Amino acid sequence: MSGGVIVTVTLNAALRVSYQTAATAGSNGITPVSRPAYRAGGRGVTVARLLREFGHDVLAAGLVGGAAGELIGQDLARAGVPAEFTRIRGESRRLFTFLPSGLTYGEPGPYITTEELGRFAGDYRTLLASAAAVVLSGSLPDGLPDDMYATLVRYATEAGIPVILDAGGEELLLAVRNRPALVVADSAEADAAQALVRLGAGAAAVRGKEGTVAAVTESGRWTASVALPDGAVLDRGALVAGLVPGELLGWSWPDRLRHCLALATGVTPDGDVDPRAYETLLETVAITSA
């Protein structure tokens, strides 16, 4: 994208470790598993990967450490996703998934020291010089203050760079007052989006239940829905990735919602785009306005 890159920030990046398990245990009572497959994870990383697949210029940033951090960087390099992470002494968290059951176990994230926070803040402000937009996405690891996202939003908005913020809880409420361009959150009620706009967001999109997203700006309100398979949910990282291009290119909100819902519904379990599913789903998204 001309004019700069989309910088995605993942402060609690993860290494996804997947195993294929045998149907039964061996004679020793141990169930055999395959050699592990490694995949860089964390919502901001997912956003960067998907935006790259759609041809956008991206740069993945954030915090990584240890052997898991090395493997995160290697996987992104294989995927052609440029990355400039700040290194930490602690070990990035790992998520262990056993297939075909899909059962997943997650480690806690690392503790971030004051010195590491300072280095990241400096790296982040350097990256803003070449940024067209910033995506702040996901949970905060231990050691970071609740107003971490508020500070990062302020740095970017002071530099005239739009921020797409994907957060929740106290971190979201503190950051929204610094006027991010777009906030993405979880809620079953469209009224939650209206409240976020009143607090300072330029626009808000909230993921509801059963394949719905409600979007609110100062001038309008829309609800989009798509049919989901039983037990499925909209992929949060893919939803955020789907909203970023429309924010930068000035798409209408119905077009933004069609794109993000088709992407969030059609993304594969590994976090890749299924082009045929995406194209088909674009035609099935229902939009209503209020």
The CATH number, out of the four listed (1.10.357.10, 3.90.1660.10, 3.40.50.1820, 3.40.1190.20), of the domain defined by the range 184-290:
3.40.1190.20
Hey, what are 241's tokens? 């990735």
Q: With beta carbons less than 8 A apart as the criterion, state whether 225 and 235 touch.
A: no
Whose tokens are 């990383």? That residue is 45
CATH classification of 1-22+32-180, choosing from 3.30.930.10, 3.30.230.70, 3.40.710.10, 3.40.1190.20?
Answer: 3.40.1190.20
Q: Which residues contact 73 (CB under 8 A, 6 or more apart)?
A: 40, 64, 83, 85
What single-letter amino acid sits at 9? Answer: V
Terminal alpha carbon distance of the chain: 33
Give, to the nearest 10 degrees, the angle between helix 191-199 and helix 169-176.
Answer: 50
DSSP category for residue 270: T
Q: Could you state, in order of their start, the residue ranges of all structural domains in the chain?
A: 1-22+32-180, 184-290
- Who's near 181: CB < 8 A, 6+ residues apart? 133, 162, 163, 164, 201, 202, 203, 247
**pLDDT < 70 regions, the chain:** 1-3, 188-190, 231
Dist CA 46 CA 242 (whole Å)? 11
Residue pair 92/66 in contact (Cβ under 8 Å)? The answer is yes
- 268-270-273 Cα angle (round to 5): 40
